[in-house]
């Protein structure tokens, strides 16, 4: 199947094209570049006649906070509501082993026979603490076919900034009793997420305290509208419907075309810098100049097309 064929199938919301799309997008060899570009062109907003319909949700937080278990519960709720779901889990540990072990970081319970739920674990690649370059474009491609696309990343501090650039809604997952997120929030090291989730409320008082502390920190930052949702992802499961509603409410309040256009432009800039370094950036007149130039480009262009435009400009 060619890149264009895979892209066309995604555009027609054929979920069975998802594995082939990921296989192609994760293949970073230069000879596949045109295929990848062809795939992305098929699902570009210019081709779709508007932004892809999925809700792209970033789920991030410290190791072991309960992200994957939460996603198992969330995926069940979304599927029960008839929504199709793709989960892209970024595995930072496989940098050393050189390849992602399927489902390693994800550890998401799912019915293997369910065609409406697609789960993929990807190695983080060369990028430290960030998104695998393939993950961002995979999220964009799958957005044409699925109702919900989740990007799960591990980390606190730097990682949610990159996720925020790729996702419509960012949820940061906090484990009760671990102070990192609270301290990072208070110190302004961490960007305030769209939704905060306290996991493991089945543990009782410690979870309630975590929720109160986060509320207090948000108040002191003047961010009293950010919801803090307490969940238990293991029986007795609790708070999942409330979390689904909080995520939906955030998405409903977004200027989606504006957010997505910004994401594609920042993504193209990140791709360009990853491939051509600071030196390439200087050839474009610097980062600020390049962002200004990107902001004048056609909002219907996909990330790969924007990257090609940057490269053409750099070599002009």
Ligand X SMILES: Nc1nc2c(ncn2[C@@H]2O[C@H](COP(=O)(O)OP(=O)(O)OP(=O)(O)O)[C@@H](O)[C@H]2O)c(=O)[nH]1
Judged by the rule CB under 5 A, the positions of this chain that interact with Mg ion are 67-68, 105
- Restricted to residues 85-114, the positions that interact with ligand X (CB under 6 A) are 105, 107
Nearer to ligand X by C-beta: 202 or 242? 202
List the single partner that 50 binds among ligand X, Mg ion, none, CB under 5 to 8 Å by kind.
Answer: none
Our measurement of the distance from residue 142's CA atom to the centroid of its chain's CA atoms, rounded to an integer in Å, reads 11
Strand boundaries in 124-168, DSSP class E = 148-154
| 8 Å CB contact between 192 and 224 | no
- 302 touches 11 (CB < 8 A): no
Nearer to ligand X, 85 or 294 (CB): 85
Q: What does the alpha-carbon distance between residue 190 and residue 95 come to, in Å, rounded to a whole number?
A: 24
Q: Which is nearer to ligand X, 69 or 261 (CB)?
A: 69
Site string for ligand X, 136-155 (x = CB under 6 A): ------------------x-
Sheet of 228-230, strand order: 117-123, 85-91, 148-154, 55-61, 169-174, 195-198, 228-230
User: Does the protein bind ligand X through residue 69 (CB under 6 A)?
Assistant: yes
Q: How far apart are CA 15 and CA 278, in angstroms?
A: 38
Residue 99 binding result from Mg ion, ligand X, none, given CB thresholds of 5 to 8 Å by partner type: none
Q: How far is the CB of 207 from ligand X (least distance, A)?
A: 9
User: Closest separation between CB of residue 108 and ligand X, Å?
Assistant: 8
Between 90 and 144, CB nearer to Mg ion: 90
**CA–CA distance, 104 with 3 (Å, rounded to integer):** 27
Query: Which one, 50 or 64, has the nearer CB to Mg ion?
Result: 64
Which one of residues 7, 38, 68, 194 is an interface residue with ligand X (CB under 6 A)? 68
């Amino acid at each position: 199947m060619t890149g264009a064929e895979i892209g066309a199938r995604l555009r027609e919301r054929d979920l069975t094209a998802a594995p082939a799309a990921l296989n192609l997008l994760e293949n970073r060899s230069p000879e596949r570049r045109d295929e990848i570009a062809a795939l992305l062109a098929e699902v570009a907003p210019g081709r779709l006649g508007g932004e892809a319909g999925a809700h792209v949700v970033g789920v991030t937080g410290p190791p072991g906070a309960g992200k994957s278990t939460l996603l198992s519960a969330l995926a069940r709720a979304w599927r029960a509501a008839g929504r199709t779901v793709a989960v892209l889990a970024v595995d930072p540990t496989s940098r050393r082993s050189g390849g992602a072990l399927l489902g390693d970081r994800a550890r998401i319970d799912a019915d293997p026979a369910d065609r409406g739920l697609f789960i993929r674990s990807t190695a983080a690649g060369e990028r430290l603490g960030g998104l695998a370059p393939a993950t961002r474009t995979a999220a964009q491609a799958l957005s044409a076919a699925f109702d919900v696309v989740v990007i799960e990343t591990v980390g606190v501090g730097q990682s949610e900034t990159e996720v925020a650039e790729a996702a419509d809604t960012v949820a940061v997952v906090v484990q009760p009793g671990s102070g990192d997120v609270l301290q990072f929030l208070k110190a302004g090291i961490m960007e305030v997420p769209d939704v905060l989730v306290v996991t493991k409320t089945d543990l009782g008082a410690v979870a309630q305290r975590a929720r109160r502390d986060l509320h207090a920190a948000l108040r002191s930052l003047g961010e009293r509208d950010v919801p803090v949702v307490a969940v238990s992802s293991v029986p007795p499961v609790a708070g999942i419907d409330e979390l689904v509603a909080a995520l939906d409410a955030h998405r409903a309040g977004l200027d989606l075309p504006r957010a997505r256009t910004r994401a594609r432009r920042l993504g193209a800039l990140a791709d360009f810098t990853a491939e051509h370094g600071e030196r390439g950036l200087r050839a474009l007149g610097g980062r600020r100049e390049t962002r200004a130039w990107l902001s004048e480009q056609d909002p219907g262009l996909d990330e790969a097309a924007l990257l090609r435009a940057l490269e053409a400009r750099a070599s002009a």
